[in-house]
């Protein structure tokens, strides 16, 4: 399963639009609250996420409905005054180690909670008139009391891709990455651009390689802070690399057999991305071809 997918909760969209039903869910004695330390997950002795009752919520906390499991409401909570900039590093080694050990479904629930809390922390004011906004729709929106504008959590689309040429994959290395790590190239979609156009543009900008015949592989929510990773493979016209050193530290072509060996745990010329990243899935699917 792709990392951060497989959320087992029913998102219960009908409750988000019904204040009375939401209040009833928040008053349900069975309701559970996902404990977070800022944006970091709390992990129990069993290696799983920690859930507790809503009775443990601070008085000023605003519950956010994550969904239902067999009718039992599950919540995250936003604490007024919380600043995302004061939270631990966005992708600290400690967080990465936690995520590597979470079951995929739990990681997906955590991803949703983290992205929502981060969004509320960054969007407390109306983009239309500048007034302070209020949380509503069970925590899945904010509304301006001044101009009545509604604001919803945004998801930023990102293409992540491999260029292939003569049985080899183009992999790049970002600055400040762990020693030896190489992965697929990636970049944000720009306004007025298709996925296919973004793939071709990003590969050419970062590596100088021109590609065609873009094909979609899979997608993944990525809660840092809230992106949708769209994994693709494209065919390169040639293998000449002209590196953009503002974007990448290095790039290289890796034969399919070598990619298979590295993913199988053998030593090779690069360290692969972690299994919960869609780049790992992308490399795995490409290596099978």
pLDDT, tens digit (0-9, with 9 covering 90-100), for 22-77: 999 999 999 999 999 989 999 999 889 999 999 999 999 999 999 999 999 999 99
Contacts of 3 by beta carbon, 8 Å cutoff, 6+ apart: 99, 104, 107, 220, 275, 276, 277, 278, 280, 281
pLDDT, position 289: 78
C-alpha span between 274 and 110 (Å, rounded): 18
Average pLDDT for 124-131: 97
Model pLDDT for residues 208-228, shown as the tens digit of each residue: 999 999 999 999 999 999 999
Mean pLDDT of the chain: 94
Whole-number percent of the chain with pLDDT over 90: 88
Give the pLDDT band of residue 85 (cuts 50, 70, 90).
Answer: low
Burial class (CB in 10 A: 0-12, 13-18, 19+), 43: middle
Strand 134-136 and strand 62-69: the pairing is unpaired
Average pLDDT for 90-99: 78
Checking if the pLDDT of 145 tops 70, the result is yes
pLDDT, position 103: 83
Average pLDDT for 130-145: 97
For residues 55 and 86, the model is more confident at: 55
pLDDT, position 84: 66
Per-residue CA distances from 36 to 41, 43, 105, 283 (Å): 5, 9, 17, 32
Per DSSP, which regions of 19-61 are E strands?
Answer: 32-34, 36-37, 40-41, 51-53
Checking if the pLDDT of 83 tops 90, the result is no
pTM of the model: 0.93
Average pLDDT for 65-93: 82
Checking if the pLDDT of 131 tops 70, the result is yes
Checking if the pLDDT of 86 tops 60, the result is no
Per DSSP, which regions of the chain are E strands?
Answer: 32-34, 36-37, 40-41, 51-53, 62-69, 72-78, 134-136, 141-143, 150-151, 156-165, 168-173, 185-188, 211-222, 227-236, 250-255
- Name the strands in the sheet holding 150-151, side by side, starting at the edge strand that comes first in the sequence: 134-136, 141-143, 150-151
Question: Residues 22-42, buried b or exposed e (16+ Cβ, 10 A)?
Answer: beebbeeeebbbbbbeebbbe
C-alpha span between 252 and 95 (Å, rounded): 29
Model pLDDT for residues 167-183, shown as the tens digit of each residue: 999 999 999 899 999 99
Six-digit token string for 60: 């000023």
pLDDT, position 99: 83
pLDDT, position 90: 61
Checking if the pLDDT of 88 tops 90, the result is no
Give the pLDDT band of residue 104 (cuts 50, 70, 90).
Answer: confident
Checking if the pLDDT of 137 tops 90, the result is yes
What the chain holds in terms of domains, given with CATH numbers, is 13-151 (3.90.79.20), 156-288 (3.90.79.10)
Q: Measure CA of the first residue to CA of the last residue in the chain; give whole Å.
A: 19
Model pLDDT for residues 236-281, shown as the tens digit of each residue: 999 999 999 999 999 999 999 999 999 999 999 999 999 999 999 9
Checking if the pLDDT of 20 tops 70, the result is yes
CB atoms within 10 A of CB 248: 19
Strand 32-34 and strand 185-188: the pairing is unpaired
């Amino acid at each position: 399963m792709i990392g951060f997918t497989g959320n087992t909760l029913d998102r219960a969209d009908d409750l988000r639009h019904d204040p009375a039903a939401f209040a009833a869910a928040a008053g349900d004695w069975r309701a559970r609250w996902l404990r977070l330390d800022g944006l970091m997950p709390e992990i129990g002795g069993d290696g799983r996420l920690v859930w507790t009752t809503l009775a443990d919520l601070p008085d000023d906390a605003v519950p956010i409905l994550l969904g239902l499991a067999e009718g039992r409401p599950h919540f995250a909570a936003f604490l007024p005054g919380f600043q995302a900039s004061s939270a631990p590093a966005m992708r600290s080694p400690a967080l990465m180690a936690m995520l590597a050990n979470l079951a995929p479904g739990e990681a997906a629930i955590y991803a949703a909670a983290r992205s929502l809390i981060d969004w509320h922390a960054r969007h407390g004011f109306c983009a239309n008139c500048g007034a302070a906004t209020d949380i509503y729709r069970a925590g899945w929106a904010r509304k301006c009391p001044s101009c009545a504008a509604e604001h919803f959590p945004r998801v930023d689309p990102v293409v992540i891709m491999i260029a292939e040429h003569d049985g080899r994959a183009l992999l790049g290395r970002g600055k400040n990455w762990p020693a030896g790590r190489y992965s697929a190239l990636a970049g944000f979609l720009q306004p007025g651009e298709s996925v296919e156009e973004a793939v071709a543009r990003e590969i050419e900008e970062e590596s100088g390689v021109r590609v065609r015949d873009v094909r979609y592989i899979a997608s993944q929510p990525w809660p840092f802070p809230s992106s949708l990773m769209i994994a693709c493979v494209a065919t390169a016209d040639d293998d000449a690399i002209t590196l953009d050193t503002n974007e990448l530290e290095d790039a290289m072509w890796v034969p399919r057999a070598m990619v298979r060996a590295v993913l199988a745990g053998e030593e090779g010329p690069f360290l692969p991305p972690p299994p919960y990243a869609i780049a790992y899935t992308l490399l795995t699917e490409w290596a099978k071809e």
